[in-house]
Amino acid sequence: MSKGILHTESLSVGYTAKSSQKTVLSGLNLDLKKGELTCLLGPNGSGKSTLIRSIAGIQKPLSGQVDLLGKQLSEVSPKALAKQLSLVLTDRTAPGNLTVYGLVSLGRFPYTSWMGSLSAQDKSIVQWALESTGTLQFADRHIGELSDGERQKVMIARALAQETDLIILDEPTAHLDSPNRIEIFHLLRELVANGQRAILISTHDIETALANADKLWLVSDQTIHQGAPEDLVLNGELEKAFSKEGLSFNYSLGRFEKEKAREGAKILLQGDGQRFHWTKSALLRAGFQLVTTNEDFSVAVEETATKTPWLVQGEFQISSIEHLLIKLNQLNEDEME
Amino acid sequence: MNTPSTGLSIRAFVVLFIVVLGLFLLNLGLGSVTIPIDEVAKILLGQTVENEAWQNIILKIRLPRTITAVLVGAALSVGGLQMQTLFRNPLAGPSVLGITAGASLGVAAIMLAAGSATTAFAIRSLGIGSSWLIVLASSVGAFLVLLIILAISYRIRDNVVMLIVGIMVANITIAVVSIWQYFSDPEQIQEYILWTFGSLGGVTTHQLGVLGGIVGGGILATFLLSKTLNALLLGEDYAQSMGLNIRRSRMLIIFVTSVLAGAITGFCGPIGFVGIAVPHLTRSFLNTSDHRLLIPSCVLVGAILMLFCDIISQVPGSTTVLPVNAITAMIGSPIVIWIIVKRRNLKSSF
């Protein structure tokens, strides 16, 4: 397996407080490979950061070992480690007076002389890191002037400039809105695509992880299940990991939902395509049950653009989902009386 | 960190240097007796002037004091810059975090251990051997306080809490000193209080050599730590992930800062606000976070501020001399308030 970068063998991580040890995660046998984007997925407070700090060599594991490129992590010198592994953290506090170029060139720290002057080669690598992350156009701006999304891209550029085989990101999208989050994941996908590096990213955002990860490290029951995201959905591990009283995983929509206390009217929904999908989502949210035979009501969805794409009970023509829900509730109430 | 504005920085350096030079000469010329600048220049260049008294005033009194002002400004500013970067706290500085209080305690402790009825003023007049002793004592005091602050900073990451802890540690050391004062004679107390006012004039020519060597060495050491300080800008986790030996770097920075702040406090008394204010003034002037530029410019801006404060404290044209510590506080405090008001988000004001 020449593509394998990192391997952990019965690893346990946690804290040593005074004389007692607090194990957060144990029995970890995990792998990272070049060309793969791995998502460390788990609820907040499940020990994702502790694992990341242990793999990055910031914190000592309680037991077991981490092998990085065939060498035990504890035996790699900090300087050598800095050329193999780089970090992007949640932390928003970057000095506002630093320019984007200055921050990205800090990534060359392990390679520069004692004064930190950049050689021609260093400069071309910084340039490449800025180009690959789409941050070149604001290289002269100060960090304080950037938006949260731009700043995280710059932090990723800094990690790239460190020229490592492995980049680890700890909740880099925690402060970002959805378009920025999607953009960051898209960028990370591009960065693993050429097979030159592995990326590990921790997140608590299930939908983004499912959509983007090649592999999931799923935190559950103080250990981690490793596998393709789809496999972990199908074998029920994902639902188990995030299970909470009253929440259930909707397998067809790929998201968690609150279980409905009251069983709504049974609806036969017919049609296909995008409009069908969103109609289904809306009906489920409103508490209706979807069935395959005509029991209470029927709704037919027309995919082609007409003014009234929804037909209820074969007679009412409806123009929007909002009106559809009003109509169904009305019919339901009439029925009850 | 090669920002495209290197040419701009060189111009800024030249401007700062000219201002330092101008204030230096002005400081020599102004005082209870006003001496024309061209006469000052002649005396400095070793030419004979008609008024021999002027020559004595310049060479024996004003020149040592003015050089001391430059050293104090440079050392405290560079020390403050290092602490702001290490603690990632824009309000860190020798006086705020209790480092000068620790240094005072060191000086006081030496006098107690010696068992003699002496004070800083008395020890200061003993000569070179004892000036090393003062530097050692005040640096050890500063170092101990910094270690306590550092140990607490591991548990608490909150900037404001850190400052409160610093103020409390300063209060404890001041309390210890005041207990010592309580059991001392009135004359000693008076001398100690004079010492706490801060004085640039008490450093003899011999001691100036010691102080100059220490400050020069400390600033050089800080400059050699530029790359380390730059890496620490992103916080210790990032710095470590870039291969920096955190423990060693932290100890080095604390050691250099303690020596710089300790030496100055030992010789000149606790001088406040220069250490916090100057790094901020320098950053907003140069608009950079690169320590390779910030350290030399902090030296220049610190010298400018201290020379300016010294000129004011001499109250030109009168025989009155105001305590220099009061002047630095009057000029430094508004700068600190301005920092807090201007940058509402303290964490990003580096």
pTM tops 0.95, yes or no: no
B298 touches chain A (CB under 8 A): no
Scanning the structure block, which residue is given the tokens 């005041």?
Answer: B178
Closest chain A CA to residue B347: A93
The total domain count for chain A is 2
The dihedrals phi and psi of B5, each to the nearest 5 degrees, come to -95, 30
Dihedral (CA of A178, A179, A184, A190) sign:
positive
**B226 vs A contacts (CB less than 8 Å):** 115-116
Domain match, A46 and A185 both:
yes
Domain match, A55 and A156 both:
yes
Domain match, A83 and A139 both:
yes
Tokens of B135: 């530097």
Domain match, A144 and A288 both:
no
Cβ atoms of residues A180 and A149 within 8 Å: yes
Q: Give the number of C-alpha atoms closer than 13 A to the C-alpha of residue A156, restricted to the C-beta side.
A: 30
Q: Is the pLDDT of residue B306 over 90?
A: yes
Domain match, A81 and A28 both:
yes
A50 assigned to some structural domain? yes
Domain match, A207 and A321 both:
no
| Pairing verdict, β A71-72 and A63-68 | antiparallel
Q: Is the pLDDT of residue B299 over 90?
A: yes
Task: Answer whether A93 sits within 8 Å of B3, measured CB to CB.
Answer: no
Calculate what percentage of chain B has a pLDDT beyond 90.
23
Domain match, A210 and A303 both:
no
CA-based nearest distance B84→chain A, Å: 11
Section B57-69 average pLDDT: 89
Burial grade of B345 (CB within 10 A; 0-12, 13-18, 19 or more): exposed
pLDDT tier, A154 (very low <50, low <70, confident <90, very high otherwise): very high
Closest chain A CA to residue B350: A95
Scanning the structure block, which residue is given the tokens 């300790």?
Answer: B262
**A112 vs B contacts (CB less than 8 Å):** 227
CA distance B154 to B246: 13
* Out of A85, A95, A118, closest to residue B233 by CB: A95
B47 touches chain A (CB under 8 A): no
CA-based nearest distance A17→chain B, Å: 12
Task: Answer whether B289 sits within 8 Å of A87, measured CB to CB.
Answer: no
Which pLDDT tens digit goes with each residue over A270-305? 888 888 888 888 888 888 888 888 888 889 888 777
* Out of A78, A85, A97, closest to residue B287 by CB: A97
A265 alpha-carbon distance from chain centroid: 36
Domains plus CATH for chain B?
6-348 (1.10.3470.10)
pLDDT of residue B344: 54
CA-based nearest distance B243→chain A, Å: 4
CA distance B276 to B313: 20
A261 assigned to some structural domain? no
Domain match, A137 and A232 both:
yes
Last residue of a domain, one of A220, A250, A280: A250
Task: Answer whether B350 sits within 8 Å of A98, measured CB to CB.
Answer: yes
* Out of B226, B235, B348, closest to residue A116 by CB: B226
B212 alpha-carbon distance from chain centroid: 13
**Cβ neighbours, 10 Å, residue B38:** 11
A256 assigned to some structural domain? no
A257 assigned to some structural domain? no
pLDDT tier, A94 (very low <50, low <70, confident <90, very high otherwise): low
ipTM value: 0.77
A136 touches chain B (CB under 8 A): no
A259 assigned to some structural domain? no
Cβ atoms of residues A143 and A103 within 8 Å: yes
Last residue of a domain, one of A250, A285, A314: A250
Task: Answer whether B2 sits within 8 Å of A95, measured CB to CB.
Answer: no
Domain match, A166 and A28 both:
yes
Domain match, A18 and A126 both:
yes
CA-based nearest distance B143→chain A, Å: 26
pLDDT tier, B112 (very low <50, low <70, confident <90, very high otherwise): low
Query: What is the 8-class DSSP label of residue B347?
Result: G
Section B206-224 average pLDDT: 92
Cβ atoms of residues A170 and A52 within 8 Å: yes
Domain match, A128 and A228 both:
yes
Long-range contacts of residues A247-253, Cβ cutoff 8 Å, at least 24 apart = A250/A284, A252/A280, A253/A280, A253/A281, A253/A284
Last residue of a domain, one of A196, A225, A250: A250
The dihedrals phi and psi of A239, each to the nearest 5 degrees, come to -60, -40
Task: Answer whether B227 sits within 8 Å of A109, measured CB to CB.
Answer: yes
CA-based nearest distance B160→chain A, Å: 15
Domain match, A239 and A312 both:
no
The CATH number given to whatever domain includes residue A215 is 3.40.50.300
From residue A294, how far is each of A278, A308, B44 by CA, in Å? 20, 21, 106
User: Looking at the DSSP assignment, which residues form a beta bridge with residue A166?
Assistant: A85, A198
Task: Answer whether A82 sits within 8 Å of B4, measured CB to CB.
Answer: no
A15 assigned to some structural domain? yes
Tokens of B83: 């602490």
Instruction: Give me the amino acid identity at B140.
Output: V
A232 assigned to some structural domain? yes
Average per-residue pLDDT for chain A: 86
pLDDT of residue B191: 65
CA distance A189 to A183: 10
A313 assigned to some structural domain? yes
Closest chain B CA to residue A113: B227
3-state SS of A91-116?
CCCCCCCCEHHHHHHHHHCCCCCCCC
For residue A280, what are the domain limits? 266-336
